[in-house]
Structure 1
Amino acid sequence: MHCTPTVSADPSIQPGRDIDCDVLIVGGGINGCGIARDLAGRGWRVVLCEKDDLASHTSSSSTKLIHGGLRYLEYYEFSLVRKALQEREVLLKSAPHIMWPLRFVMPHDPSMRPAWMIRVGLFMYDHLAKREVLPGSRTVRLRQHAAGAPLKQSYRRGFIYSDGWVDDARLVVLNALDARERGAQVFTRTRCTAAQRGSDGWVATLDGAGRSRTVRARAVVNAAGPWAESFLRNVAHSARGETLATKSLRLVKGSHIVVPRLFTHDHAYIFQNPDKRIIFAIPYQDDFTLIGTTDIEIEGDDPAGAHITEDEIAYLCTQASRYFDKPVLPADVVWTYSGVRPLLDDESGDPSAVTRDYLLESNTEAAPLMSVWGGKITTFRKLAEDAADEVSRMLGEARGAWTDGAFLAGGDLSAWIGKPHRPDRDFERFVAALQKRHAWLPPALARRLARAYGARVDLVLGAAASMAEMGVEVAPGLHERELRYLQSSEWATSADDVLWRRSKLGLHYNPAERAVVEAWFDTRETEGINACN
């Protein structure tokens, strides 16, 4: 008798069997999962493989902003900024539980940029795309505003504008969930080790969890992010054995630090630096402030080991301390993370000036191949839509776009609150409805579950009618019922998946508490293996 361990990459998949599909997508970051969702929603048979966990690299290591990119105006990236600005409210409405509006304060430093230049930039930012939810920009007297209190007294004037915040790793998971519910098969911790191109299809080998599978696909989408170039050079093979790589990537590391909360208001800051870069200081996880990012070009074609350096920590602390009255010191840092941005090589000497726009490269010399170059999290939906349009064209059948106006998994709160109005207010109505329906939930836990799962929260709670029925409290506020849901439905197979990607509870736990969560997964894996013996 064949038995599958309880820790399965995707419970919908029959392990060990060969698969025929229309499109194989390599890469489980935001672009790969977004494309899988869009294609599956058009009725294409989709398989996605990711060599690690979903969003385990760049897509969980962003500055976590849904933004147009104010600073890109200085590089005349008007098309990119407009595209991103158009997407802000589309995304905010699609998943109000993991995305919400955020106001940004820019203290004015006359030595950086003149006030007139900032006003012109903000006017363009306000008017390049239609706004329905986000308020426009304005000037502010910092000595008379709560946002001025944490700043040095010398900063007396500033500007306030709107953008949005996103839980980036959960955004990836929600796309993967939606893709799977529309028929896609999602393999995590499964590497594409070979992809052979023929005249009318691809034959790929997927290796993971001790198993090897053969996938026959009509087309391949290379959405491997920082590994996109190396995938074409080392894994994908043409019928004649020629390299399929045509573009070069510049891998630019962006590092962030997290420190104990520096201010109590709900605004974020954007600070101008003497090197003409900017950094953000953002309210984070209630008790912390997130500061980032850097732009450091890295060498090599395997960015998995990218990590913050002492120089980067010092840089972020120094730049933040130019503005905050209380200095930010390296000793204050409680957590760091680094992501590697896969940017198209445009031969710019300054990594900060390299375009954040994307390019979709189609190759139809034999079985269709599409490679995704570059991109940013704000424009992922539009990128996925454009990619799905092109893949459909290459497969010979136009199938209509559908994601503009569609909810992401858990984003449709109407069953709880009725007709939606404004995403931020709708979420608060949802929290109130959740607390009313499940009055036994502690308010802090109810809000966290609402943020993480939105309308899918009942899938987590199941039939529970009391805290006792949530199961063992494995770590503070984290119960066995939620862990089992994450394991069975959201591809979580380790403590890191839960503590640092499906949530950021790891920030709130001490090492002993994190170790207990690790032990829970170890026990579950052992139980699964023993069940097969």
Structure 2
Amino acid sequence: MHTTAAQYSDTVDILVIGGGINGTGIARDAVGRGLKVLLCEKQDLAGATSSASSKLIHGGLRYLEQYEFRLVREALAEREVLLGNAPHIVHPMRFVLPHNKNLRPAWMIRIGLFLYDHLAKRSKNLPGSQQIPLGNTSAYALPLNDTIQKGFLYSDCNVDDSRLVILNAMDAQNRGAQILTRCECIGLETKENTWLATLRHQDGSIRQVQAKILVNAAGPWVENIQNLLARHSSKATDQSKLRLVKGSHLVTPKLYEGTHAYILQNKDKRIVFVTPYQNDFSMIGTTDVDFHGDPGTVAISPEETDYLLQSVNAYFKRPVRPEDIISTWSGVRPLYDDAQGNASTTTRDYVFDISGGTGSEPPLLSIFGGKITTYRKLAEHALEKLAPFTGKHQAWTSTAPLPGADLPNADINLFTSQLQKDFPWLPKDTASRYARAYGTLALAFLAGKTSLESLGQHFGHDLYEVEVKWLQEHEWASCAEDILWRRTRLGLHFTPAQTLALQNWLEKQTVN
């Protein structure tokens, strides 16, 4: 089991606040450079924005229109890195862009896709773009209105976003980092050129940690952490740097057959994705609206629901209605306020706010913006910025696989077939889910198992005791929500009664 706050040492090189994709990525990079690292997260890993994304590893085709070429180039390059370092959870996907001549001329889209194909090196697993007919003979045209006769095809990737966070945290811990979940930073001050942080664990225990460097990766709460410091500092906090932008998604029953996605243009120049989700569903998103309030209570609005449904219904034959919606989620993006009037055009590029490092002020790095696709590069750049204070200049993560990524020939399908061969009693869908969630880590909890009965108690929908225990002991899961919505993604299938039964079982384990 994971250790609690009271068992950790008092002095570290870097304290990272925030257990989302940026925080875990930085913790992993830092500890791999030989630094002593502690990360604290007030809730669960990936408990907010990092589990509420569009689940895509992509360059951001629409950002070309905003001339964000550096961001797109970096994202496309990182797409290749992640395909190589996490082939179990990052998978190629083809995207269909139906053409609407009233929104963007075909020549403009062709130029954009040409740039998208060539701004960065592209692997053989990601075929290039092409113009395609969308007549009656095209499988891609089946769900689309008959008036749509032409479209474009290009490649990107999908990802299980919260598992990407977990794997970074696991690798960080395996390399020596201390990962504290449900442990909130409630106080910050400086003492003798170091940070003194007061941490409160969910059991109420208090611990103080000294750190030479503080990394504020709190996402939508980045200014809350800055304000903790402001209580003990005469330095004013610039409240105008943060712009919170909400993105919401809908989940419906599967709208079409196939593994491809659709990217739909809208009159407001934004785009909406429709992607396959968890085999039986389709995911529709996202929105871009300014958000004010507590990010912990974020939820989709009726206006966002209408916007997403209207976007899909402008292209699809069969109308999607509000009663078709099975689930929704919303995330708050902590963007850097570049004074753009429109939330959708605010830069998604990341910005570092660095202070201290001279005199009696220890270094503080606060992070604004960023995309899940570029998290590894963001972490690398953050450690480069901190190198004058750490003396650690050697980047290393670009060729370092994440846990479970050591698949034969980096081929998820080959590994899935091997898993079915080695465990022939395992249902095909279960073997596929294990492969795509855990990669070779699945072999650890399947070792010695000879039947479904040997997997222990069955909670429903192919979730067995052996997997739940793995998630408790190795992946910081402590409640049913952690397991169903951020580790396995089985929450859409579980009934309230099944969820309650799982939660009761977990609580009994804690007591015992």
TM-score, shorter chain, exceeding 0.5: yes
Partners of 1:460 and 1:50 lie apart in 2 by 26
Give 1:399's aligned residue: 393
Give 1:236's aligned residue: 229
Partners of 2:392 and 2:180 lie apart in 1 by 27
User: Which residue among 257, 268, 282 is the counterpart of 1:264?
Assistant: 257
- Give the C-alpha shift of residue 476 in structure 1: 2.5
2:195 paired with 1:210: no
Give 1:20's aligned residue: 11
- Give the C-alpha shift of residue 241 in structure 1: 4.0
Q: Secondary structure at the match of 1:516?
A: helix
How does the TM-score come out when normalised to structure 1? 0.92
2:317 paired with 1:325: yes
2:294 paired with 1:309: no
2:134 paired with 1:139: no
Give 1:278's aligned residue: 271
CA 1:246–1:314: 2 relative to 1, 3 Å: closer
Matches within 5 A, 1:406-421: 406-413=400-407, 417=408, 420=409
User: Which residue among 483, 492, 498 is the counterpart of 2:483?
Assistant: 498
User: Which residue among 25, 39, 44 is the counterpart of 2:35?
Assistant: 44
Letter in 2 for 1:452: A
Q: Secondary structure at the match of 1:404?
A: helix
Give 2:352's aligned residue: 360
Give 2:193's aligned residue: 200
CA 1:238–1:198: 2 relative to 1, 3 Å: farther
- Give the C-alpha shift of residue 468 in structure 1: 1.5
Give the number of equivalent residue pairs.
Answer: 506
2:460 paired with 1:465: no
Letter in 1 for 2:489: K
User: Which residue among 297, 322, 334 is the counterpart of 1:342?
Assistant: 334
Q: Secondary structure at the match of 1:219?
A: strand
Letter in 1 for 2:273: F
Partners of 2:463 and 2:413 lie apart in 1 by 22
- Give the C-alpha shift of residue 90 in structure 1: 0.5
Partners of 1:17 and 1:294 lie apart in 2 by 41
Give 1:174's aligned residue: 167
Q: Secondary structure at the match of 1:169?
A: helix
Give the conservation status (yes or no) of the 8 Å contact 2:5–2:180. no
Letter in 1 for 2:348: R
- Give the C-alpha shift of residue 246 in structure 1: 6.8
Letter in 1 for 2:50: S
Give 1:454's aligned residue: 439
Give the conservation status (yes or no) of the 8 Å contact 2:186–2:200. yes
Q: Secondary structure at the match of 2:53?
A: coil
Partners of 2:297 and 2:231 lie apart in 1 by 30
Deviates more, 1:144-153 or 1:245-254: 245-254
Letter in 1 for 2:122: R
Partners of 2:252 and 2:145 lie apart in 1 by 19
Partners of 1:309 and 1:245 lie apart in 2 by 29
Q: Secondary structure at the match of 2:315?
A: coil
Partners of 2:333 and 2:511 lie apart in 1 by 37
User: What do you get for the CA RMSD once the two structures are aligned?
Assistant: 1.5
1:92-132 alpha-carbon deviations (Å, 9 max, x no partner): 11111111011100000111111111111111111111112
Give the conservation status (yes or no) of the 8 Å contact 1:152–1:325. yes
CA 1:199–1:367: 2 relative to 1, 3 Å: farther
Give 1:70's aligned residue: 61
Letter in 2 for 1:21: V
Give 2:373's aligned residue: 378
- Give the C-alpha shift of residue 440 in structure 1: 2.1
Matches within 5 A, 1:3-18: 10-11=2-3, 15-16=6-7, 18=9
Letter in 1 for 2:181: T
Deviates more, 1:141-150 or 1:337-346: 141-150
Give the conservation status (yes or no) of the 8 Å contact 2:253–2:282. yes
Q: Secondary structure at the match of 1:271?
A: strand
CA 1:239–1:198: 2 relative to 1, 3 Å: farther
User: Which residue among 214, 219, 239 is the counterpart of 1:220?
Assistant: 214
Give the conservation status (yes or no) of the 8 Å contact 1:475–1:516. no
1:375-399 alpha-carbon deviations (Å, 9 max, x no partner): 010100000111122223222x133
Give the conservation status (yes or no) of the 8 Å contact 2:11–2:211. yes
- Give the C-alpha shift of residue 298 in structure 1: 1.1
1:287-308 alpha-carbon deviations (Å, 9 max, x no partner): 00000011110113x3111100
Give 1:3's aligned residue: none
How does the TM-score come out when normalised to structure 2? 0.96
Give 2:495's aligned residue: 510
1:407-453 alpha-carbon deviations (Å, 9 max, x no partner): 0111112xxx2xx2xx5xx1101111111122221111111111111
Give the conservation status (yes or no) of the 8 Å contact 2:246–2:333. yes
Give the unaligned 5+ runs of structure 2: none
Give 1:5's aligned residue: none
Letter in 2 for 1:407: P
Partners of 1:95 and 1:327 lie apart in 2 by 36
Give the conservation status (yes or no) of the 8 Å contact 1:16–1:212. no
Give 1:531's aligned residue: none
